[in-house]
Amino acid sequence: MKRSPEKVLAALKELPNGRVVTTKKLTITFPVRFRDIHLAVIGKVSFVYGLFAILIDDDYALCNINGYVELGEASIKIEKVGEIDYYKFIYEPGDMVIVTKDIVARSNLIFTAIDEFVFKGKVPWYVSYEDMGTIFRTAQTFAGSRARIIPSMMEFFAAYIARKNANRVEYIREGAKSRADFTRDKIAWVPLRSVFYSAPGTVNKISGAYFNDGIVSALVNPNEKAGQVESVLRA
């Protein structure tokens, strides 16, 4: 798939009543698990958290709005991308894609989204490394959230949980020489709360709440140099 927001946006037309229709066949896609964690409501009336992809042929664009977007009626399919199930809302030319441009605000959406994308590391395929730094830029505007999530904070999280697909212990930023090294096929997202991947030292791994996971990680991925805590303990 090629990221082509200009091509996708050119196929969308806003009507005087605020509804958005498509002039070409298109698909809106997002993980099925969004429904399970209340980032989507699927039914006669469907809402989805505004982090989804809009596909036209082999091109796609990212919608990035921190609130519920009401989708128009569509033909719905579920297809796998890798091992993950994704909804596909399929629209024909002339169909209403977005019922209204008024976004439904829910402050708890941001906490759920942070838990899903950062702490659990479950990042949809259409969200790039660079996107991760801005996925909460409209939190105050649309989600009714009091939290001001600055881009630099999200950039830090992205740099921390983005790992090399070939070896998830290694950070993707280490050894990267160009933007081509940050493509989807080379990145694996790991949970920030995972003691296996995120705890930096042996002591940190075995002293947390997940003792069994910490022991396994400390044995499988031993650190080669002592951290500050370990240096104090060994003194």
Supply 209's token pair: 């709440």
Under 8 Å between Cβ of 227 and 200: yes
Percent of the chain residues topping a pLDDT of 70: 80
Q: How far apart are CA 168 and CA 189, in angstroms?
A: 8
Which of 104, 121, 153 delimits the end of a domain? 104
| pLDDT tier at 121, thresholds 50, 70, 90 | very high
What sign does the dihedral 97-103-104-106 (CA atoms) show? positive
Per mean pLDDT, which of 88-97, 101-110, 195-204 is the most reliable? 88-97
**Assigned domain for 79 exists:** yes
Mean pLDDT of 4-12: 96
For residue 53, the SS3 value is strand
Mean pLDDT of 112-138: 92
Read off the amino acid at residue 161.
Answer: I
Q: Which of the 8 DSSP states describes residue 104?
A: B
**Assigned domain for 41 exists:** yes
Give the list of residues 6+ apart from residue 232 with CB closer than 8 angstroms, or none: none
Residue 61 pLDDT > 50, yes or no?
yes
| pLDDT tier at 71, thresholds 50, 70, 90 | very high
Which of 104, 135, 155 delimits the end of a domain? 104
Per-residue pLDDT at 192? 85
Per-residue pLDDT at 200? 56
**Assigned domain for 56 exists:** yes
Per mean pLDDT, which of 1-10, 99-108, 144-153, 189-198 is the most reliable? 1-10
Average pLDDT of every residue of the chain: 83
Only one residue has tokens 């469907």, namely: 46
Supply 133's token pair: 């730094």
For residue 65, the SS3 value is strand
Supply 12's token pair: 């969308």
Only one residue has tokens 């950070």, namely: 171
**Assigned domain for 62 exists:** yes
Per-residue pLDDT at 221? 46
Under 8 Å between Cβ of 146 and 111: no
Q: How far apart are CA 213 and CA 71, in angstroms?
A: 41
Which of 104, 127, 158 delimits the end of a domain? 104
**Assigned domain for 75 exists:** yes
Mean pLDDT of 86-101: 97
Enumerate the β-bridge partners of residue 217.
none
Q: How many domains does the chain have?
A: 2
Inter-CA distances, 61 with 5, 26, 29, Å: 4, 11, 11
Per-residue pLDDT at 166? 87
Spell out the alpha helix ranges (H) of the chain: 5-10, 33-36, 107-114, 139-142, 151-161, 195-198, 202-207, 211-220, 228-234
Q: How far apart are CA 67 and CA 108, in angstroms?
A: 10
Give the model confidence (pLDDT) of 181-217 as tens digits.
Answer: 788 888 999 998 876 776 555 444 444 555 444 434 4
Per-residue pLDDT at 206? 43
Per-residue pLDDT at 174? 84
Per-residue pLDDT at 229? 41
Give the model confidence (pLDDT) of 127-181 as tens digits.
Answer: 999 999 899 888 878 766 555 666 778 888 898 899 998 888 888 888 777 877 7
Supply 62's token pair: 């990212």
Residue 235 pLDDT > 60, yes or no?
no
Q: Which of the 8 DSSP states describes residue 39?
A: S
Whole domain around residue 223: which residue ranges?
195-230
- Nearest Cα residue to 133 out of 111, 148, 153, 109: 153
**Assigned domain for 20 exists:** yes
